[in-house]
Structure 1
């Protein structure tokens, strides 16, 4: 077994060389040896995937490899694709070796014997999908967080996260993989993808539940099983998001308040943390009697203006009944702790509660008036 572990450590070197200028000296024989090593690593994956102890040992050895911090046991199963794609994108590969590579990918050993495509067709589909997602984006015609490209990226993230769960079988391994992937994305984009993924989990579960009810009226066994899996996936996304206060603060500043209110209405962990964060931001506002309004007391600490803070609380109060009650209860508690003032300018929480309550009353009045007209 120690020999196998030593061989597995060479996977990172194989991937590095496949993307380097060293391949300019490769001939067809060298290329064949590289592809044989890739298929050997895939064979190890197929052989040990059902043996947790050996699988974990291989995964630990792979994670030591540099400069590929994201290597793990599932990488072994994708090794032929990873090496093939690296060589296809490497312009240093000589023409003769490139033609040999194409022939190998078109007719890989054992082609057609398995249920999954493992050759050029799979690489072509993935490359086409990557090119399609990289096309210049047109002005979005849908709400923030619902752009097709963002939805596709979020769905891909969810699919890969579920695959990691099936292959790795432990939440810690999934979380390590998730952290590595998201840290490679620019921070605003990572936040948008995570938010879209969390929204997709709730939208998908709602549609599935409705479909189950349409089919048999009361049977929700399938829905409950999928809901449990979605709950685990959402828990991993929330663990990454809420595990770092600076990251969560940047997440809330990056996204529209309407999307944050939607997520807060479906994830209690997020709603509590979001309210705590808004409380911290509101505590840095001071009332300026000359201007007659709340202003930032310290520009390096006060993240939101009075208007922005009010808009965020307003969105929360326009969410679900539970979220609205939770938000108003938090504001009432803060108002009481601040002295329970009923005069403007003495407590930011009193003023927020009055304005948010007024907005809610105006909305209810409009609804009643509309119903009377109907």
Structure 2
């Protein structure tokens, strides 16, 4: 274990050097490849020990110490958490590409287009053409998007959604939640796109039992991330959310609960003659709330009957008034039925 902790310390230092030090000017191709080898080693540590609380605590303590040590030398260093170890190669690559001292010779290796990337070489990932491979995938999404069926999520999110499900399938069941948590953490500032990727993954058209199990796992994970679910319902198109509600009963119930929570937070302004939210951030307009429910009403008779029964019950609990401004549920039903 002592050797493992020493290697972990050295690799975190390596990632910091790659991102912030001019030492990379002296790196050659062999050094670059060995750096990715050590980053992959950390990923292996994550998958091996993430479900071992005792060893994980020891490694987290080691990470805390090395992050403090590295920050003294590189104040701009971003602390590496235990979940970050699952994407250590990504951290290394991003750090290198942001380092202005990275030699052109190494950039040529990363962007080499002379041959496809060889994913396995001498037991670790060969970095030749790594960036070019990523660019080709991205470009393919852009080129193919006009040729495929119109989708609310977009071609790139569809591709990433499929890749996400494939990655979940490849992981052992106990490794999936930490993996998703690390992806979510890495998507800070791009939460809306991550929501699109999740939606695309849940709408993949495979019907195999294994796929259904993966979808259930992803749904259960999402429904425990309340802030992410709220963001998903707020930012994604109502039509896309309706498609998810039609496909997954679990999502439908959670989605409807979010909508009902938005509605219950509304107050009626007599002077403006409108319902508004005073405490919710971000605020949801009555018009936007109506659009969400109207989309559900147009989805399918059985789905809407279920939702409408809930709204009618809430209207009755408010006194079953049909006068505007007395019940948000009555006014919602009135607007939807127009």
TM-score between the two structures when normalised by the length of structure 1? 0.65
Q: Distance in 1 between matches of 2:292 and 2:118?
A: 58
Q: Distance in 2 between matches of 1:132 and 1:86?
A: 25
Q: Distance in 1 between matches of 2:159 and 2:174?
A: 25
Q: Distance in 2 between matches of 1:97 and 1:346?
A: 68
- Alpha-carbon RMSD: 4.5
Distance verdict in 2 for CA 1:263–1:38, change over 3 Å: closer
Q: Distance in 2 between matches of 1:193 and 1:110?
A: 24
Residue 17 of structure 1 deviates from its aligned partner by 1.3
Aligned to 2:19: 19
Q: Distance in 1 between matches of 2:26 and 2:220?
A: 46
Query: In the alignment, is residue 174 of structure 1 matched against residue 193 of structure 2?
Result: no
How many matched pairs? Answer: 318
Aligned to 2:74: none
Aligned to 1:157: 164
Distance verdict in 2 for CA 1:281–1:161, change over 3 Å: same
Aligned to 1:220: none
Residue 339 of structure 1 deviates from its aligned partner by 0.7
Aligned to 2:261: 280
Query: In the alignment, is residue 148 of structure 1 matched against residue 150 of structure 2?
Result: no
Alignment of 1:304-323 (within 5 A): 304-323=284-303
Distance verdict in 2 for CA 1:25–1:341, change over 3 Å: closer
Aligned to 1:128: 136
Of residues 193, 200, 213, the one that matches 1:196 is: 200
Aligned to 2:76: none
Partners of 1:17 and 1:23 within 8 A in 2: yes
Q: Distance in 2 between matches of 1:174 and 1:149?
A: 21
Q: Distance in 2 between matches of 1:301 and 1:52?
A: 36
Unaligned 5+ residue runs, structure 2? 68-78
Partners of 1:56 and 1:73 within 8 A in 2: no
Partners of 2:118 and 2:126 within 8 A in 1: no
Alignment of 1:1-374 (within 5 A): 1-23=1-23, 26=26, 28=28, 32=30, 35-36=33-34, 38-39=36-37, 42=40, 57=55, 61=59, 64=64, 66=67, 67-69=79-81, 74-75=86-87, 79=89, 87=96, 90-94=99-103, 118-130=126-138, 142-145=150-153, 147-163=154-170, 165-166=171-172, 169-183=174-188, 185-200=189-204, 204-205=205-206, 208=207, 223-240=208-225, 243-244=226-227, 247-283=228-264, 284-286=266-268, 288=270, 294-297=273-276, 299=278, 301=280, 303-356=283-336, 358=337
The more displaced of 87-96 and 340-349 is 87-96
**Structure 1 residues 90-115: Cα deviation after superposition (integer angstroms, max 9, x where no partner):** 55245677789999x98x9997677x
Partners of 2:321 and 2:330 within 8 A in 1: yes
Distance verdict in 2 for CA 1:239–1:312, change over 3 Å: same
Partners of 1:14 and 1:34 within 8 A in 2: no
Residue 252 of structure 1 deviates from its aligned partner by 2.0
Distance verdict in 2 for CA 1:316–1:276, change over 3 Å: same
SS in structure 2 opposite 1:328? helix
SS in structure 2 opposite 1:92? coil
TM-score between the two structures when normalised by the length of structure 2? 0.71
Unaligned 5+ residue runs, structure 1? 209-222, 360-374
Q: Distance in 2 between matches of 1:227 and 1:95?
A: 46
**Structure 1 residues 185-242: Cα deviation after superposition (integer angstroms, max 9, x where no partner):** 4233333333333333xxx23xx4xxxxxxxxxxxxxx223321332233323433xx
Residue 26 of structure 1 deviates from its aligned partner by 1.6
Partners of 1:18 and 1:87 within 8 A in 2: yes
